[in-house]
Chains A and B, each alone.
Chain A
Amino acid sequence: MSYKARVALKTAVWIASLWPLGVLVRGFLTDDLGANPIDYITRTLGLTALVLILTSLSMTPLRILFGWSWPIQLRRLLGLLAFFYVSLHFSVWIGLDHFFDWRRMWQDVLKRPFITVGVLALVLLIPLAITSTSGMIKRLGGANWRLLHKLAYVIGGLGVLHFLWLAKKGRTTPFYYAITLAVLLGVRSWDWLRKRRLAARSRPLPEGERASARS
């Protein structure tokens, strides 16, 4: 992919990702966020974060399914934008929703499972954001870095759980996100199994190992 195409693609990602924030800011300035603005802001930021997390997790499946390599270049940017939205989501919860009532918020973290998994997802995102630079990849070594960044799957799962558990019975949107995550993980699992089988077939194995690879 040419340099120009890459810049264009990344610019498009920036614009699309910051769009929801722009809409919120405009709504805030024109007092057009509905009857319960804090709730609306919290939901929009959280939902955008989850969309970005799932989008970043779909870059590899796109390569697996269609053989495209360009989406991989967007993964870091998408992940960092997701972290940005999660941080805003969390800040609004602390500053606007609970007005720095630390005691009550801590009780919620301990007692409300949907808040527990949400906070856990945020905490797990921090090391990923810190180690997102090229320098950090070098310092950690490719293998370690890849292992650490497998946490992205866990974070995706926690994000979906957070959404499922906070929703009231009858709301269907969280299930679409759960299905999306399941499909994305399904594609990876399928690819992993397929590769393993191919490797097993192409590599002459001692008898015992061959049997276990088939089982």
Chain B
Amino acid sequence: MLIKRDADSKLRGEDISPRDITDHGIYLNRRAFMTGVAALALTPWGREAEAQGSLRPLQATKNPAYQVPDALTPYKSVTTYNNFYEFGTDKGDPAAYGASLKTRPWTVQVDGLCAKPKTFDIEEVLKFPLEERVYRLRCVEAWSMVIPWIGFPLSALLKRVEPTGQAKYVEFTTLVNPEMFPGQKRGIFGFTLDWPYTEGLRLDEAMHPLTLMTVGLYGQVLPNQNGAPLRVVVPWKYGFKSGKSIVRIRLTSEEPKTSWNRAAPSEYGFYSNVNPEVSHPRWSQANERRIGELRRRDTLMFNGYGDQVASLYAGMDLKKFY
């Protein structure tokens, strides 16, 4: 009898503690992830990438604290639909011309208002404990993705150089090299962004645990079109705030000049927090198209990261500091 009861309860799953049951959201994410990776390995395009050596696995521990319930955007979309003007203004240009970027040797100079300025070799950067985090990415153009990034908190890198009390901002500079970045050559009409591409954050934003120094995605080394070999990811801000292919990180006392702000100040502010209530002059930011979905979805305040970051902006008029 006892045995029978035991068998029954096992059939009902009573011997499994709730602790051991995978959360449905994580389960779905894992499925999407595996589907993404499997699909990637099977496609001719994935095999081609593998043959070229651009598909290189990167070990990282999944950080369960940074997951989202939304389904992941397929790897193919993440790596073929990009805004990265260094390669060209078309969304397909970064994937088409990405191969011209050489990511070795690569160093990143971390300096400015800090006690121990240091130039890190990329191999040294890759020695920071890497973790995988799934973040929403919201582009200022009202489309969005969900991406499993690999990286480590930017704060870990900044702490190494010991920012001084005067440091209030951080400036990120992208590589300038028209040989590697065809988009940096002057076009017929001459006007493009002023190179180098620079972006910036307030120091407290840069030190926030969500701000990720990123070296990979989907279990792979960061593809060139996504900002290899290292970029920053700031998930509560519009995508252009997250500088790519970074060669310098500088601590400053004054708000850094940022590229899109210089190009069109009324359209792109320094803060550029995702905010459904503040329109871009030419389109509404109230909703967005998630890549792969048909219907638009409502845009979330701070891209859904309000619980973690809203306090950074307490008392600020976000319509004024857009």
Contact = CB atoms under 8 A, between A and B. Distances in A.
B81 A112 contact: no
A32 to B, nearest CB: 12
A85 interface: no
A36 B296 contact: no
Nearest to B292: A35
Contacts of B91: 34-36
A96 B85 contact: no
Interface stretch (B218-226, B279-287, B301-309): B279-287
A112 B283 contact: yes
Interface string A95-120: 01111010010011001111000000
Contact of A172 (B189, B193, B283): B189
A35 B296 contact: no
A170 interface: yes
A150 interface: no
A4 interface: no
Nearest to A175: B189
Given A38-B289, A104-B284, A170 B89 contact: yes
Contact of A36 (B76, B81, B191, B263): B81
> Which of A36, A97, A98 has most B Cβ within 10 Å?
A36
Contacts of A101: 296
B92 interface: yes
A99 B189 contact: no
A203 interface: no
Contacts of B89: 168, 170-172
Contact of B282 (A35, A96, A165, A171): A165
Contacts of A107: 284
Nearest to A96: B294
Interface in A146-175: 165-166, 168-172, 175
B263 A169 contact: yes
Nearest to B187: A172
B12 interface: no
B192 to A, nearest CB: 5
With most chain B CB atoms within 10 A of its CB, the pick from A97, A108, A170 is A170
B189 A35 contact: no
A166 B81 contact: no
B273 to A, nearest CB: 20
B189 A36 contact: no
B81 A170 contact: no
Contacts of B283: 108, 112
A166 B294 contact: no
Nearest to A165: B282
B120 interface: no
Given A104-B284, A107-B284, A108-B284, A35 B294 contact: no
B192 A35 contact: no
Given A34-B92, A38-B289, A170 B282 contact: no
Interface of B: 76-77, 80-81, 85, 89, 91-92, 143, 187-189, 191-193, 263-264, 279, 282-284, 286-287, 289, 291-292, 294-296
21 contacts: A34-B80, A35-B76, A35-B81, A35-B292, A36-B143, A38-B289, A39-B143, A39-B289, A99-B295, A99-B296, A104-B287, A114-B282, A166-B282, A169-B193, A169-B264, A170-B191, A170-B192, A170-B263, A172-B187, A172-B188, A172-B189
Given A34-B80, A38-B294, A169-B193, 6 more contacts: A35-B80, A96-B294, A98-B296, A99-B295, A169-B192, A175-B189
